[in-house]
Amino acid sequence: MKSNNSAPKQTLRRLDIQRSTFYNLLHRFQDNGIEGLEDRKPTPTVAWNQVPQDHRDALIELALEKPELSPRELAVRYTDQQAYFVSESTVYRLLKALDLITSPAYILMQAGDKFQHPSQRVNELWQTDFTYFKIIGWVLVTSAILQAGVGSTSIITLCSMSIR
């Protein structure tokens, strides 16, 4: 490049090399000589959101102490006790990797062959949604939404609060 009178941008364009690639190689050559230009194996980096090992060990210990708890219950209990948030899916993956996941001893709900209350008209809709919000040390909010309608949708929202 130095012996060529044309601008580096034009030379790199003719060689079909990105400028960032060229300058990265140039800096590697200036820092480490010809050895710096050799291919390097990519080094794995630690994920920014990886659960630290001490928290993993504590989660495993809690799971072994309380084998009857589901991954969701373990995540909630650990978050409440340790004030460190860990998701249900993280707990599940951690326990699955150590073969600590057991199948539930009971079946919560089975799918039926048909709806218990099948719709009678074309635009009939029935839908319910229950949501529980626990605000620690203050209140438990239960929100129940029932959507029922024929043609147009009417929405009924019920909220209850219980102070804990």
Domain CATH code at residue 136: 2.20.25
In a domain, 117, yes or no: no
Same domain? 33 vs 66: no
Q: What is the pLDDT, as a whole number, of residue 104?
A: 62
Same domain? 8 vs 39: yes
Same domain? 9 vs 35: yes
Give me the domain span that covers residue 156.
124-163
In a domain, 16, yes or no: yes
The neighbour count for residue 40, using CB atoms within 10 Å, is 8
The answer to whether residue 151 scores a pLDDT higher than 70 is no
Higher pLDDT, residue 78 or 49: 78
Same domain? 37 vs 54: no
In a domain, 115, yes or no: no
Q: What is the pLDDT, as a whole number, of residue 52?
A: 93
Full strand arrangement of the beta sheet holding 124-135: 124-135, 139-150, 152-163
Same domain? 58 vs 103: yes
Same domain? 83 vs 69: yes
The neighbour count for residue 73, using CB atoms within 10 Å, is 13
Nearest Cα neighbor of 136 from 100, 158, 117, 163 is 163
Same domain? 20 vs 58: no
Same domain? 25 vs 8: yes
Count up the domains in the chain and report the number: 3
In a domain, 36, yes or no: yes
The residues with which 145 forms a beta bridge, in sequence order, are 129, 157
Spatial distance between the Cα atoms of 105 and 75, rounded to a whole number of angstroms: 20
What the block records as the tokens of 5 is: 């009178």
Same domain? 35 vs 17: yes
Same domain? 55 vs 100: yes
Per-residue pLDDT band at 7 (split at 50, 70, 90): confident
Same domain? 60 vs 99: yes
Max CA distance (Å), the chain: 85
Three-state DSSP at 157 gives strand
Nearest Cα neighbor of 151 from 120, 130, 129 is 120
Spatial distance between the Cα atoms of 150 and 123, rounded to a whole number of angstroms: 6
Nearest Cα neighbor of 136 from 164, 100, 96 is 164
Over residues 97-131, the pLDDT tens digits come to 999 886 666 666 676 777 777 777 766 666 666 66
